Amino acid sequence: MNDGIWLPGVHRIPSPNCDERPPGNTVDLLVIHNISLPPGEFGNPWIEDLFLNRLNPDTHPYFAEIAMLQVSAHLLIRRDGSSCQFVPLDRRAWHAGASCFSGREHCNDFSIGIELEGTDEHPYTDAQYDQLAQLTQQIHAHYPAIVPQRIIGHADIAPGRKTDPGSAFDWERYRSLLE
């Protein structure tokens, strides 16, 4: 049995928060997000706990608001550049929520989601940009329809609801690493 598309050299942590993509959908969008739990704190296990449905609501007051959510992303890139994959690329991760791109709703159906450990305001690290560029190239090898114009931020598909990856994300720097 095929266990899906897992990227080589990336630590696997399978999340239950995924399902099959609807038939006939071409994966042609890459969505960049940011996440930190609790907000503004880095280097702890709580992002994984959220994506695995085991976040303890008693650990931090903020967690009581989000512990019941069932969310995931395909990939997470930590501040040190290390990465882990929660969902095979050919499955639908639950990262975009209510979303629309170029008139197409339900972006989870046709996108890959990458979370950067960070916030809208904290500069991302050199290691994160390098790893993001490397993973983007690997993803593009599987999904050539993901061209630079189809790599966007969460804010672009959920305006007014989401702001990530935020003003701290250097799109020009990232795109130059893809050339």
Residue 63 pLDDT grade (very low, low, confident, very high; cuts 50, 70, 90): very high
Mean pLDDT, rounded, of the chain: 96
Quote the CA–CA distance of 4 and 91 in Å, as a whole number.
Answer: 7
| pLDDT score, position 179 | 87
User: Quick one: average pLDDT of 145-166?
Assistant: 97
3-class DSSP assignment, residue 109: helix
Question: How many C-beta neighbours within 10 Å does residue 80 have?
Answer: 13
Domain segments of the chain: what residues? Answer: 11-177
Are 96 and 31 in contact by the 8 Å Cβ rule? The answer is yes
Q: pLDDT of 91-147, one tens digit each?
A: 999 999 999 999 999 999 999 999 999 999 999 999 999 999 999 999 999 999 999
**pLDDT at residue 12 above 50?**
yes
User: Quick one: average pLDDT of 37-45?
Assistant: 97
Q: Alpha-carbon torsion 20, 22, 28, 33, what sign?
A: negative
Quote the CA–CA distance of 57 and 72 in Å, as a whole number.
Answer: 18
Q: Which residues are marked as active site?
A: 115
**pLDDT at residue 3 above 90?**
no
Are 87 and 74 in contact by the 8 Å Cβ rule? The answer is yes
CATH domain 11-177 topology: Lysozyme-like (3.40.80)
**pLDDT at residue 151 above 70?**
yes
Quote the CA–CA distance of 80 and 50 in Å, as a whole number.
Answer: 20
**pLDDT at residue 1 above 50?**
no
**pLDDT at residue 88 above 80?**
yes
Quote the CA–CA distance of 87 and 132 in Å, as a whole number.
Answer: 16
**pLDDT at residue 79 above 80?**
yes
Q: pLDDT higher for 98 or 179?
A: 98
User: Quick one: average pLDDT of 148-172?
Assistant: 97
Question: 3-state DSSP: the chain helix, strand, coil percent, rounded to 5?
Answer: 25, 20, 55
| pLDDT score, position 4 | 95
Nearest of 123, 8, 128, 134 to residue 78 by alpha carbon: 128
